[in-house]
Every structure is written in structure tokens, then in C-alpha cells.
């Protein structure tokens, strides 16, 4: 877990630095601060399980195993990117590792996760799907429709709401009708639990319980992870226009990486030198990812016209 937590942090911090030095990467939404949510949940999944993500999706991608050099190349708009420069930050996808897509139309990825869970049920596999969404997404009808479908069909899906307090600049207490998003689980006859989303361990515990329930065929669960994004909504947003410095500091005081590190050290599970080695390996990985992205080729004009329609495949019924 520490490897993934710090890999996400390193990826986002490096990306932020690159953006600030003028690398033109398009729209990006930093995941920094929320790492424990993606890592805790994905630690409870098998490689063959599915996840669907949000516009703030880099963390989910890395936690599920998308290679960082292909992500960075995609963000750079290079042909070696995960989506061959057709997607960018807001569409990173790697179905080989069960990552069904970053999806910037708020709430829509939730319906796709429910579809993947339906697929698992119809095809009688043991796969589970996780739908990540934010507390902003909790207000969109698609999410409620998807939860109802999952509940009536008892689909193997886990709804994970990362409540970072703000839908762009709109605070949760203004936009959401209930004290806790998890309270809404009752409306769909599923378990609902609110956990500290800045601590990977309780997130993982809650996810493991929900995933097991889903795999047993008992249906969906809702987990709300209380968390904070350290930066603005996207790279150009100043969060201090709608939240206070004290609030930001309080969240940083509960930083998930520092707390995980302290727990590992306190419980003598890993030594400082081992944790440092993980961080240093990750830094090298990100160095390599940036170098790979920078040296990769740009698309050609003809690439504009590829992949508009899905081709016939070998072995298709004619």
C-alpha cells in the first residue's frame, strides 16, 4: 500500500510541477490528498475486478495498476499513451488491468461499473466492480438510478463516494440533503458506511467487507470516504476562494501518507530505510515516466481518423 500511496503522490506532485513550469498537458485534476481512498479500495480487489473512475482519476488508475509511463505519455498527448493520445488525463483507461475509464461526465462512470457488475453476473464470473464518485456526483440522477438497479438486481458492485467536501467550489453541506452520503444507502437497501478517507487501513477494511459481500452475491454496498483534495478543482483553481487556510491545514495534518508511515514504524512492520527505499524507487519510476512521455512521438494528422468506428474482429460471426 505504501508503494501505491507514494507513487500516486509522486505522480501528482511531479505533474503539478510540470504544469507550473509550462508543460501544456490540458486539463488535469490532482488527486493529491485522497490517495488512501483509491489505494485502500483497490487493495481489496483482484486484478480481474473492474473499477470506473471520475475526472479526478489518476489515483484510481495507479491504484488499479495502470502503468505510470503510459499515463504520463497520455497526459502529454503522445501516441504511446494509454489511450494513444485520444483521451488525455480525463479519459485514461486500461481495460487490461480492469480500469474501465476515467470519466469526466460526473456520475456516468458509476453506471458503467454497474454494467460491468451486470456483465459479471450474467457471465457467471466472480468479478466485482467498484464505482468511484465524489460527493458532487452523489447529486446526479444517474448515480441514484445505478444504485437502484444494482440493488434490485443484487449486482456485485461497491459504490465508493470520496467526499472531499467540494464539488468544484460548492460545499457539500450546501448541496447534499443528508448529513452523510452513506445515509443514502438505506434508500437502496444496502449497507452504508462512512470511514476516514485519509487513512488507508479503515478504507481497505470497509472495502474488503463490501467486496466479499458482493462476491457472495449479496449485492451492493456504499462506502463514503471522508477526505480532502489538497489543491483546487483543477490545475488553474485557487481553492482559497471557497475554503479556509485552516481547513486545508487540518486536512494536511491528517495526511494519509504520513499517517501510514507512522503506523508502519510504530508497529515495526517496516523500517524507515525500507519506506525510504520505496519512495526513492517511485521517484525513479516517475523520472522514467516523464522521460518516456517527453521522448515519445506525437500523433500524425491521419490518426484523427482512426478508431471512429469499431472494426470487425477475427472470428466474428459474419
Partner 1 sequence: MTTTAVRELSFGPAINEAIRLEMRRDPNIIVMGEDVAGAAGRAHLGLVDAWGGPLRATRGLITEFGPERILDTPIAEMGFLGAGVGAAMSGLRPIVEIMFVDLIGCCFDQIMNQAAKMHYMMGGQVDLPLVIRTAYGTRGGDNRTYGGGAGAQHSQTLYAVLAHIPGLKVVVPSTAYNAKGLTISAIRDNGPVIILEHKFLGQRAKGPVPEESYTVPIGRAEIVRRGRDVTLCGIGRMTHICSEAAELLVAEGIDAEVVDVLTLSPLDEDTILESISRTRRLVVVDEDTPVCSVARDIAARVADKGFDNLDAPIKTVTAPDTPVPFSAVLEAHYTPGPAQVISAVHELFGTGA
Contact 47, 97 (CB under 8 A): yes
Q: Judged by CB, which is closer to partner 1: 92, or 203?
A: 92
By CB under 8 A, tell whether 130 contacts partner 1.
Answer: no
By CB under 8 A, tell whether 120 contacts partner 1.
Answer: yes
Residues that contact partner 1, how many (by CB under 8 A):
53
Q: Judged by CB, which is closer to partner 1: 245, or 318?
A: 318
Q: Identify which of 134, 138, 145, 197 has the alpha carbon closest to the alpha carbon of residue 5.
A: 197
- Residue 317 CB, shortest distance to partner 1, in Å, is 5
By CB under 8 A, tell whether 115 contacts partner 1.
Answer: yes
- Residue 76 CB, shortest distance to partner 1, in Å, is 14
By CB under 8 A, tell whether 174 contacts partner 1.
Answer: no
Q: Judged by CB, which is closer to partner 1: 273, or 308?
A: 308
Q: Which of residues 36-55 bind partner 1 (CB under 8 A)?
A: 50, 52
Tell which one of 81, 156, 197, 220 touches partner 1 (CB under 8 A): 81
Residue 206 phi/psi, 5° resolution? Answer: -65, -40
Tell which one of 67, 153, 183, 248 touches partner 1 (CB under 8 A): 153
By CB under 8 A, tell whether 132 contacts partner 1.
Answer: no
Q: Identify which of 228, 229, 219 has the alpha carbon closest to the alpha carbon of residue 190.
A: 219
- Burial class from Cβ neighbours inside 10 Å (0-12, 13-18, 19+) for residue 249 reads exposed
Tell which one of 26, 46, 126, 152 touches partner 1 (CB under 8 A): 152
Tell which one of 85, 239, 257, 290 touches partner 1 (CB under 8 A): 85
By CB under 8 A, tell whether 273 contacts partner 1.
Answer: no
Q: Report the distance separating Cα 61 and Cα 56, nearest Å.
A: 10
- Residue 266 CB, shortest distance to partner 1, in Å, is 41
By CB under 8 A, tell whether 314 contacts partner 1.
Answer: no
**Residue numbers of the site for partner 1 (CB under 8 A)?**
50, 52, 81-87, 91, 93-96, 100-101, 103, 105, 108, 110-120, 122-123, 129, 141-142, 144-146, 148-149, 152-153, 306-313, 316-318
Amino acid at each position: 500500500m505504501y508503494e501505491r500511496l507514494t507513487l500516486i503522490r509522486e505522480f501528482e506532485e511531479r505533474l503539478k510541477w510540470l504544469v507550473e513550469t509550462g508543460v501544456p498537458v490540458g486539463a488535469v485534476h490532482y488527486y493529491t490528498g485522497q490517495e488512501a481512498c483509491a489505494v485502500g479500495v483497490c487493495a481489496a480487489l483482484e486484478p480481474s475486478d473492474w473499477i470506473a473512475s471520475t475526472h479526478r482519476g489518476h489515483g484510481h488508475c495507479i491504484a488499479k495498476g495502470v502503468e505510470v509511463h503510459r499515463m504520463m505519455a497520455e497526459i502529454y498527448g503522445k501516441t504511446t499513451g494509454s489511450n494513444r493520445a485520444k483521451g488525455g488525463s480525463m479519459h485514461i483507461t486500461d481495460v487490461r488491468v480492469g480500469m474501465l475509464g476515467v470519466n469526466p461526465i460526473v456520475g456516468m462512470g458509476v453506471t458503467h461499473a454497474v454494467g460491468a457488475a451486470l456483465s459479471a453476473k450474467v457471465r457467471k464470473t466472480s468479478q466485482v466492480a467498484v464505482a468511484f464518485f465524489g460527493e458532487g456526483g452523489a447529486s446526479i440522477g444517474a448515480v441514484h438510478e445505478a444504485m437502484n438497479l444494482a440493488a434490485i438486481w443484487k449486482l456485485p458492485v461497491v459504490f465508493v463516494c470520496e467526499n472531499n467536501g467540494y464539488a468544484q467550489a460548492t460545499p457539500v453541506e450546501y448541496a447534499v440533503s443528508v448529513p452523510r452520503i452513506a445515509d443514502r444507502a438505506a434508500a437502496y437497501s444496502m449497507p452504508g458506511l462512512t470511514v476516514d478517507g485519509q487513512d488507508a487501513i479503515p478504507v481497505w477494511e470497509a472495502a474488503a467487507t463490501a467486496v466479499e459481500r458482493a462476491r457472495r452475491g449479496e449485492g451492493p454496498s456504499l462506502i463514503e470516504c471522508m477526505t480532502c483534495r489538497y489543491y483546487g478543482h483543477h490545475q488553474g483553481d485557487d481553492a482559497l476562494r471557497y475554503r479556509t487556510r485552516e481547513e486545508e491545514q487540518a486536512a494536511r495534518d491528517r495526511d494519509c501518507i504520513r499517517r501510514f508511515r507512522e503506523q508502519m514504524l510504530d508497529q515495526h512492520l517496516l523500517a524507515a530505510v525500507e519506506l525510504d527505499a520505496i519512495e526513492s524507487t517511485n521517484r525513479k519510476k516517475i523520472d522514467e515516466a516523464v522521460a518516456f512521455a517527453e521522448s515519445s512521438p506525437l500523433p500524425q494528422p491521419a490518426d484523427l481518423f482512426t478508431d471512429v468506428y469499431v472494426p470487425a474482429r477475427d472470428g466474428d460471426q459474419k
